[in-house]
Amino acid sequence: MKYISTRNAAHAVTGSEAILMGISPEGGLFVPESFPQLSLSDIESMGEMTYAERSATVMSRYLDEFSFEELLEIANRAYSRFDDEDTCPLTKIDEGMYVLELWHGPTYAFKDLALTVLPQLISACRTKRGEKDKTLVLVATSGDTGKAALEGFKDVPGTEIMVFYPDEGVAYMQKLQMITTGGDNTYVAGIKGNFDDAQTAVKSIFTDDSVRASLREAGYVMSSANSINWGRLLPQIAYYFSSYVDLLTSGEITLGDKINFVVPTGNFGDILAGYYAMRMGLPVGKLVCASNINNVLTDFFNSGEYDATREFHKTISPSMDILISSNLERLIFELCDRDDKALSAMMASLKKDGKYTVPLSLVRSKLGMFAAGYADEDETMETIYNTFDEYGYVVDPHTAVAVAVYNDYYMTSGDTAPSVILSTASPYKFAQDVYEAVGESQESDPFKAVKKLHFLSGMEVPEGIDKLETLEKRFTDVLPRDKIKQKVLARVKGE
Ligand SMILES: *Cc1c(COP(=O)(O)O)cnc(C)c1O
């Protein structure tokens, strides 16, 4: 299996090259040359497997430089760090409505599903390719990727990791999780600006030839732990198959039935993995793209216009506060029938004017499996309250956006297919807002909010959240965004 760049389809690389490079030198994203197929009987046979085995089954279809056993060892090591034996348990909360909990990993957000795997893939790819240089991992984060990547790469030999987060754009617990990280190969800084500013600055470092050259000289190559990296996206495809198989084995559906997935979306990595699962043969009805009031994707699916030139809103679901959704590029590549020239022109227009347009008829005919909606802040808070009130189930604000959009979709479409809502974070990561919604009173101390939420819901508090209160704050830098490059160069030179 080869991988091609969305902006230069003639540039084909192997899976290990795609993972080590992260992004193609001309700025395109690597996509598989074709989608391997899993038949219904392949899917059925996953019923007997553990989550790690299901994951290795999916990954092995894409990474032919690895044996199934190698990938299984990686998946076993990754998912043994999860605090639930099902890795990502599926809970039925109403007739035809299921919640897939993707936050039982070390940092309590869905990013752990991929970021417990990626560092191991990078190490294994380095070995396979005889790479002598160290790998420098650069990350722009809207909150959850940063900590998950730090935990994944901490003290992994041959790697250094630098994480940049928008100083005023992440939740209290998210920031605290990052700046208290241990490890000698880690660095964290806030940047002045929002997530898009951080992501754009980091992406520009990747395509800067002079930086590449300086790094080579210092004995480093760059890679990315953002969802632009194929090694980040790939492990995410597995949980779409796994939740389908769980519905099958519990008798909720029969083999071949189509199901919907409702996905709280920011950078479009999570939901894209669902689209790829569908292209591999998973019976999917709709992929419902749920946004907060930064609803650029809702508008795109409903009008064909992608317009990032709009006011940026800071919300209580910060990991979705994104106006430039990087991974949409991979979907647009499919929409244009893999025409790299057409795609490059659209991305150039996005860079220059902040927008591009696709005929709505094309969106409807090619991307008809997508539905899209959004929830504003009040609806999100109300949904947290209602979900607890009706089902006794606590959701975090990101998941609440998805529940709200699902409710709207269900009411307006009349589509009664079984629907899996992807739950992307533990409510305790956003304890103040969640407590305010369910307890109907404010608590200004985040750790008191955790205790009160626990008292009210009886839901177990993750150990790593409890511990945060007493850990040393190691990283205090806040940089203007034009200083990121300097910081990166200084780090590799050991300054
Ligand atoms: C990252 C994140 C999202 C958005 O996922 P994308 O892959 O960026 O679309 C949603 N919820 C939470 C809690 C996240 O951390």
Q: pLDDT band at 142, cuts 50/70/90? A: confident
pLDDT at 345 over 90: yes
Share of the chain above pLDDT 70, in %: 100
What are the structure tokens assigned to 88, written together?
A: 């990502």
Angle at 381 between CA 376 and CA 386, to 5 degrees: 120
Model confidence at 25, in pLDDT bands (50, 70, 90)? confident
Distances (CA, A) of 119 to 21, 223, 304, 306: 13, 11, 37, 33
pLDDT band at 218 (very low <50, low <70, confident <90, very high): very high
Task: Calculate how far, in angstroms, residue 105's C-alpha sits from the geometric centre of ligand 1.
Answer: 14
**Confidence at 250, pLDDT banded by 50, 70, 90:** very high
113 alpha carbon – ligand 1 mean position (Å): 12
Residue 398 has pLDDT above 90, yes or no: yes
Q: Say if ligand 1 is within 6 A of residue 226 CB.
A: no
Chain segment 52-64, per-residue pLDDT in tens: 999 999 999 999 9
Kindly give the pairing relationship between strand 419-423 and strand 97-101: parallel
Of 301, 264, 275, 232, nearest in space to 30 by CA: 232
Order across the sheet with 8-14: list the strands. Answer: 8-14, 2-5, 30-32
pTM of the model: 0.95
Asked whether 287 lines ligand 1 (CB < 6 A), one says: no
Structure confidence at residue 215 (pLDDT)? 93
In this structure, the number of other CB atoms found within 10 A of the CB of residue 367 comes to 20
CATH class for the region spanning 88-110+231-460: alpha beta
Over 90: is that where the pLDDT of 227 sits? no
pLDDT of residue 321: 92
Ligand 1 within 6 A of CB of 268: yes
Tell which atom from ligand 1 comes closest to the C-alpha of 270: 7
Predicted pLDDT of residue 143: 86
Residue 14 predicted with pLDDT over 90: yes
R_g of the chain computed on alpha carbons: 21
Quote the CA–CA distance of 404 and 262 in Å, as a whole number. Answer: 10
Whose alpha carbon is nearest atom 1 of ligand 1? Answer: 319
Ligand 1, residue 103: give the atom nearest the CA. Answer: 13
Cα(21)–Cα(228) distance, integer angstroms: 10
pLDDT for the residue 245: 98
The Cα–Cα gap between 468 and 346 comes to 44
Give alpha helix (H) positions in 207-268: 209-217, 230-249
Instruction: For ligand 1, atom 8, name the residue with the nearest CA.
Output: 267
Overall average pLDDT of the 212-239 stretch: 93
Ligand 1 center–CA 51 separation, angstroms: 21
Instruction: Determine the distance separating the centroid of ligand 1 and the alpha carbon of 264, expressed in angstroms.
Output: 7
Question: What is residue 123's predicted lDDT score, i.e. its pLDDT?
Answer: 92
The domains of the chain are located at 88-110+231-460
**Ligand 1 centroid to residue 144 C-alpha, Å:** 8
The least confident of 19-23, 272-276, 362-366, 418-422 is 19-23
Q: What is the pLDDT of residue 483?
A: 92
Q: Is the pLDDT of residue 231 over 90?
A: yes
Average pLDDT, the chain: 95
Taking only the tens place, the pLDDT of each residue in 423-448 is 999 999 999 999 999 988 999 999 99
pLDDT tens digits along 62-93:
999 999 999 999 999 999 999 999 999 999 99
| Half-sphere exposure at residue 212, Cβ-oriented, CA atoms within 13 angstroms | 12
pLDDT of res. 224: 87
Q: Please indicate whether residue 330, judged by its CB atom, sits closer than 6 Å to ligand 1.
A: no
355 beta partners: 307
Asked whether residue 490 carries a pLDDT value surpassing 90, the answer given is yes
- As a whole number of angstroms, the distance between CA 150 and CA 189 comes to 12
For range 27-49, the mean pLDDT:
97
Distance between Cα 80 and ligand 1 center (Å):
22
% of the chain at pLDDT higher than 90: 91
Is the pLDDT assigned to residue 281 strictly greater than 90? Answer: yes
Give the model's pLDDT for residue 207.
85
Atom of ligand 1 nearest to the CA of 396: 13
Pocket test for ligand 1, best of 232, 319, 322, 384 (most atoms within 8 A of CB): 319
Q: How far is the CA of 319 from the centre of ligand 1 (A)?
A: 5
Which of 99, 173, 195, 270 best tests ligand 1's pocket when mutated (most atoms within 8 Å of CB)? Answer: 270
Contact predicate 155/216, CB 8 Å? no
Alpha carbon nearest to ligand 1 atom 14, residue: 319
Q: What is the mean pLDDT of residues 12-24?
A: 94
Cβ of 269 closer than 6 Å to ligand 1, yes or no, is: yes
Residue 174 alpha carbon to ligand 1 centre in Å: 13
Residue 392 has pLDDT above 90, yes or no: yes
| Res 107: pLDDT | 95
Q: How far apart are alpha carbons 186 and 161 in whole angstroms?
A: 5
Cα(421) to centroid of ligand 1, in Å?
13
Q: What is the pLDDT of residue 11?
A: 85
